[in-house]
Structure 1
Amino acid sequence: MTFYTYMVRKHIKEDSPMGDLAKDMREDRDRFPRNGTVKLSGWHDSILNYLYDCGACSGCIDAFEEAWKEYAKWLKSKSSKVLSQP
């Protein structure tokens, strides 16, 4: 699952900074960078640069950093479960 899909599914209904980010991402769905699910390397920086280029405020950047950590942790736990299955 891409970061975009993760955010929209998990946070879109929240009244929180991550919910605001998810809503902004959905509004910009045609341009927002979409990472591949296999290789995360470099995508954090690509999305962060995109946010800076769009003039994102510090609160948005903080929400992104928190959300990215959550997403990476979720992906890691998901891949651990797949690898541990017989």
Structure 2
Amino acid sequence: MQPQQLSPGTQFGVKPAPAVAIFSGRGPSLQNGDIIKPDIIAPGVNILVASPSGSNSTGKQATFVFQSGTSMATLHVKPALPPA
């Protein structure tokens, strides 16, 4: 991936998404096949986040790093969900 632009949209490269990430939820529900899931989706792969430790996986100093996972996706959808 080659850097493309920093602003607006903070796009670092274009990578197609050929498949759903391995950590993503899928439907239908195993308990009841009539329940289709997920209710809401969000990007969670290679999300640019602040690095509290100041280093990335290579050991180099970094203010921001790319991370993947359900925790990264949560940051995108939490504002859209009603209070618990």
Q: Give yes or no for TM over 0.5.
A: no
Higher normalized helix content (fraction of residues): 1
Higher normalized strand content (fraction of residues): 2
Higher relative contact order at CA 8 Å, sep ≥6: structure 1 or structure 2? 1
Q: Which has the larger radius of gyration?
A: 2
TM-score norm. by structure 2 comes to 0.28
